[in-house]
Amino acid sequence: MDTSLIFHYLIVLLVLFVGMLVYFKIADKYNIIDKPNLRSSHNYITIRGGGIIYWLAGVLFSVMNLPESIYFLIGITLICGVSFWDDVSSLPNKVRIVIHFLSISLVFYGLGLYSFLPWWLILAAYVFFVGVLNAYNFMDGINGITGWYSLVILIGLQYVNQKIVSFTQPDFINYAILASIVFLFFNFRKRAKCFAGDVGSMAISFWIVTLLLQLMMKTESLIWILFLAVYGVDAVCTILHRLYLKQNIFEAHRLHFYQILSNERKISHLKVSVGYAIVQLIICAVTVYVYQTQTLNWTILFIISLFPLILIYLLKFRLMKTV
């Protein structure tokens, strides 16, 4: 790597690190904290909204790549604004969903999706990607899980971008990677310095959704959805479980597989987070291999990848009964 490029990334890393420290001062002054309750996976007061680092990284990248990045900049700012507001003072679900659809619309327009797909597939894309945003938010509940899981996906996407098919600027991925590293420095601890909050989980999921859209449009393949397989299976199966129990799926709970492992089985948050990331890393590697070698039909690959994850998830019910 060129020396000047290394220096550039070090400067960005430093700016993000300082930005996080400044945010801690602001959060401490205005009491932006997370207080544990009966459904929390932690038992101590912690600064909330540390995931704002992803918005800062998005702004840094965007202002240096205008006007091409204008729609991404507006979209991530809107979604971070409403999410941060929700972190500080709860908002109605309808308000948040409207902003989610608006932000996704900006990405669709900026990438030219409206002229790329028929209307019915565009509707399906709305449902799927808005669902991804909210699933990512649901899954953010223990130290390190959002940071590590996102880092694995981003590294996988950068490998594809550099080695298989160029679908975006390398820095568009690298800035998100740097933000994940800084966030993990403060979050991946037994006693985290900060939590991502809605602003963090929504920001990085919005970023990843944008990247996946770029890649799927470039390759005209849906196989890359498997880069979200682990979160997807946990989120969807948990929603189905809660619907069966006639619960409000938008309310906090402790029924995700990772919550059973960390809360009921008392496995370290750090081990569970790394475990989720490792499983997703394996699936990403298999997905890349299959795409390169064309050894399997993508439908078969989906079954081979998702079926074991569903079986693992079903262990949750056994673990709950043996507590």
* Number of domain units in the chain: 1
Q: Residue 139's domain spans which residues?
A: 3-321
Q: Which residue has the tokens 């900006």?
A: 106
Measure the CA–CA gap between 144 and 189, rounded to whole angstroms. Answer: 8
d(CA 48, CA 42): 13
Residues in the chain: 323
C-alpha closest to that of 175 among 166, 183, 167: 183
Q: In degrees rounded to 5, what are phi and psi of residue 288?
A: -60, -45
Tokens of 8: 């550039």
Least confident of 70-79, 146-155, 244-253: 244-253
Mean pLDDT score, 64-86 = 94
Global pTM exceeds 0.85:
yes
Query: pLDDT tens across 117-157, in order?
Result: 899 999 999 999 999 999 998 888 789 999 999 999 999 99
Residues 273/190, Cβ–Cβ less than 8 Å: no
Decide if pLDDT at 103 tops 70. yes
**278: three-class secondary structure by DSSP:** helix
- Residues 168 and 84: their CA atoms lie apart, in Å, by 28
Of 144, 142, 204, nearest in space to 178 by CA: 204
Which pLDDT does position 38 carry in this prediction? 46
63 or 248, which is more confident: 63
Q: Are 152 and 281 in contact (CB under 8 A)?
A: yes
Rounded mean pLDDT of 155-170?
A: 97
- For residue 47, what are its two tokens? 């600064």
Structure tokens at 302: 């989906």
CB 284 within 8 Å of CB 149: no
Confidence of residue 320 (pLDDT cuts 50, 70, 90): confident
Mind listing the pLDDT tens digit for each residue in 272-318? 999 999 999 999 999 999 999 888 787 888 888 899 999 989 888 88
Q: Measured between alpha carbons, how far is 169 from 172 in angstroms, rounded to an integer?
A: 5
pLDDT attached to residue 315: 87
pLDDT tens per residue across span 82-96: 999 888 887 888 899
Query: CA 189 to CA 247: how far, in whole Å?
Result: 32
